[in-house]
Chains A and B, each alone.
Chain A
Amino acid sequence: MKSWKEWLAFGALALAFLIPISLLQSGIDGDEARVLFLRWIDNQEAYEGQLLQKITGGTDDRTVEEKDLFKNVEDVGESLNSGFRRLSVREKWNTLHNRQFEPFYEQFQRLAGQAKIKAVEGQIEWSNPDVSANVGALVLGFRKLVADLLWLKVDQYWHLGMVQRMLPAMETVVTLDPHFIEAYALGAWHLAYNVTVMFHSLDEKMKYIDQGIHLLEKGIKSNPRNSKLYAELGFTIYFRKMGDWEKAAYYLGEATKYEHEPWVERAYALSLERLLQEEKALAVLEDYDRRHPELVMQQLSMARLRKKLEARQVEKDGDLEHALRIWDFLRTDDPGDVVAPKEFLRIKHLLSEQHRGASRD
């Protein structure tokens, strides 16, 4: 009898441990899911920015439910904390614990379960349960290490010229470790530069550049606050490879919003300069100059930008000869400047038109 009572007491004691353990586990899972919710909100904000600036080509591939949910979240966020979009992770996290977000959070979980939410990668257990949860569990907590070792294999494949093997390996690396920034950055660079030179057909080249862009976009989805990925996509791909100044300026501008290396701002100013937005570029560089007085690179660019603005003003005042001289100076001063020769030709054309008109009169 005593033994029976003892076992009952131990059973009750065990339950007294197991119930709080299961509650804690639920709480930990809840935190993880909320972090994913937070990542999703950041992603959506970035995505909306892209849509507004027509970076994605204007096609919104989100479901109606996802769009509505995001709108509601943003409205509540703004009503609780003005400037919700610009909050840091910690501040946003605290705001998201408000009761008003509860129905949205539940809706988010439901939509994620129904695969109606696309714009999120985050934790691999969550984003792609059928495939990656199992891959993650298989490597017993050594996911990052396995991703690193596989990354070494990618490098080996590259040196052996096995490009076709590199691609699935790269995908696996970023599935195992969605926060492996260098894998996205180096992978995209490999695809857009080293792989494309192997092909002569433009279609084939574009296919690999697109894959590089896709890899970086995937990285941005998983790491929406990492400036390196925006900078790589903006500068390495859109600026240098594609010559798409508009997209380059957008992504480099996004990169400057988060903790970034100094060159990013200079690249952003350069892309604005290529978009003929000299005033904005000068403002970016002046701000940069105030914060980095020890660096000198920007001073040269600022001097050139002031010259360009002067040329534009002179042109506006009607002194085309003077404007032509300034653009001539600018194009010979820096042969790498793609704007100055075009502007020089444009002014030259205007001048010849003017002369022709004058001779007709």
Chain B
Amino acid sequence: MNSIVIGLNAYRESIRKKTLIAFLLFAMLVIGTSTFLTVLSPGEEIKMVKDVCLSSISFFGMLIAVFGAGALIPQETDNRTIHTILSKPMRRITYLLGKYLGAQLTILLNLGLMAVLFLVILYLQSRRYVDESQAPFSATALVTMKAMVLVFFEMLVLSALALAVSTLSTSATLPVIVGIFIYIVGHSVNYLKNLSEHAPSEFMSIIIRQFYLILPNFSNFYLRNQLIHNDPYVPQGILKLFAYAFLYAAFGLLIAYLLFRKKDM
């Protein structure tokens, strides 16, 4: 219960932050202007809109997740409000879970707003470029929602890891930089898979492969692009991806708790 109260409070604080509002406005601007690009790509207008919108939602979503989750604890430490909260009879894990919940609500709100604008743009484009082979808009809306859920899964992991780093830091700079770094690593982790297949020895191959398996792999969520482009070859569903995101987020929170539980405030 305490976690929910802290979460709602963190959410109220976050949505007032100018940085997050600026990111949201930038994202809306990019999504809104994606229609202009269609003029340059005859024949692939809707594809262009989908790619630009989904990429900007993913990118700005990442910034919102990193800034939103990474700045929560350092900000409270800076304002010294953390002392009044932690002096109450409350477990630190409750506090952490509350903060994480608040960050998720902020991310959900932002992703939701971006998704609505994305759908509006898609609807207008689908009316403008009528194609007999295109699926009806209701079907497009459904896959768009699925793709947005995958973006959220990615943010779920990223924000948990950013929160874990933020427990170490007194300013928001470190968790933000590390968060962006994790995002880059998470998207480049397939290098390791490639490397393990070409390793000079069996031993090295196993070691590299184990690293590959435990590092956060955000390219898993790249499936959103296939979904949104109606690639028929997506028979596997997204259940495993949800389990992966959920477990990784829980792991991130475990690290956060480890670092935070005995931190001298």
The stretch among A74-82, A131-139, A303-311 that forms the contact with chain B is: A131-139
Is A186 close to B, CB under 8 A? yes
Q: Is A1 an interface residue (CB 8 A)?
A: no
Which of B47-55, B87-95, B169-177 is the contact stretch?
Answer: B47-55
In the complex the two chains form, is B43's CB within 8 Å of A29's CB? no
Please encode chain A, from 3 to 40, with 1 for each CB lying within 8 Å of some chain B CB and 0 for all others. Answer: 00000001001100110111011111101001100110
Q: Given A27-B240, A113-B197, A262-B132, are A21 and B214 neighbors across the interface (CB < 8 Å)?
A: yes
Query: For A138, what are the chain B residues with a Cβ–Cβ distance below 8 Å?
Result: 188
Asked if B240 and A31 sit within 8 Å, CB to CB, the answer is: yes
Q: How large is the interface on B (under 10, 10 to 19, 20 to 34, 35 or more residues)?
A: 35 or more
Cross-chain pair count, CB within 8 angstroms: 139
Per DSSP, chain A at the interface is helix
Tell whether, in the assembled complex, residue B229 and residue A179 are in contact, meaning their CB atoms are under 8 Å apart: yes
- In this complex, the member of B184, B243, B255 whose beta carbon has the largest number of chain A beta carbons within 10 angstroms is B243
Contact B240 A24, beta carbon cutoff 8 Å = yes
Q: A39 near B233 (CB under 8 angstroms)? A: yes
The residues of B that contact A186 with a CB separation of less than 8 Å are 43
Residues in B neighbouring A104, C-beta threshold 8 A: none
User: Would A20 and B133 count as touching, CB distance under 8 A?
Assistant: no
A34 to B194, CA, bound (A): 18
The number of residues on chain A lying at the interface, defined by a beta carbon within 8 Å of a beta carbon of chain B, is 56
Whether A259 pairs with B133 at a CB distance below 8 angstroms is yes
Assess the B247–A20 pair: CB atoms within 8 A.
yes
> Does B190 contact A133, Cβ atoms closer than 8 Å?
yes
Of the candidate stretches B103-111, B114-122, B137-145, B220-228, the one touching chain A is: B220-228
Indicate if B254 sits at the interface (CB-CB under 8 A).
Answer: yes
Bound-state Cα–Cα, A137 to B195, Å? 13
**How long is the Cα–Cα vector from A291 to B222 in the complex, in angstroms?**
38
Q: Are B47 and A182 in contact (CB under 8 A)?
A: yes
In the complex, A225 Cα to B58 Cα: how many Å? 28
CB of A10 within 8 A of CB of B258, answer yes
Interface residue A199 (Cβ < 8 Å from any Cβ of B): no
CA distance A143 to B40 in the complex (A): 19
Residue of B nearest to A32 (CB): B236
The answer to the question of A103 belonging to the interface, with a C-beta cut-off of 8 Å to chain B, is no
Tell me, yes or no, whether B213 is within 8 Å of chain A by CB. Answer: yes
Within 8 Å CB of A145, what residues of B?
51-52, 55
Contact between B193 and A29, CB atoms less than 8 A apart: yes
Contact status B40-A182, CB under 8 Å: no
State the CA gap A143–B133 with chains docked (Å). Answer: 25
* Minimum C-beta distance from A267 to chain B (A): 14
Query: Which residues of B does A touch, CB under 8 Å?
Result: 37, 40-41, 43-44, 47-48, 51-52, 54-55, 58-59, 132-133, 183-184, 187-188, 190-191, 193-194, 197-198, 210, 212-214, 217-222, 225-226, 229, 231-236, 240-241, 243-244, 247-248, 250-251, 254-255, 258
With contacts A25-B244, A29-B193, A182-B44 known, what are 19 further pairs, Cβ within 8 A?
Answer: A14-B254, A14-B255, A17-B247, A20-B247, A21-B214, A27-B240, A28-B240, A38-B233, A90-B235, A125-B193, A129-B197, A133-B191, A137-B190, A141-B58, A144-B54, A144-B229, A148-B48, A148-B52, A180-B44
Binding site for B on A (CB under 8 A): 10, 13-14, 17-18, 20-22, 24-29, 31, 34-35, 38-39, 89-90, 93-94, 113, 125, 129, 133-134, 136-138, 140-145, 147-148, 151-152, 155, 179-180, 182-183, 185-186, 223, 225, 227-228, 259-262
| 22 residue pairs bridging A and B, Cβ less than 8 Å apart | A10-B254, A17-B254, A20-B247, A22-B210, A25-B212, A31-B240, A35-B234, A35-B235, A35-B236, A38-B235, A89-B233, A90-B235, A125-B194, A133-B194, A137-B219, A144-B54, A145-B55, A151-B41, A152-B40, A155-B40, A182-B41, A182-B47
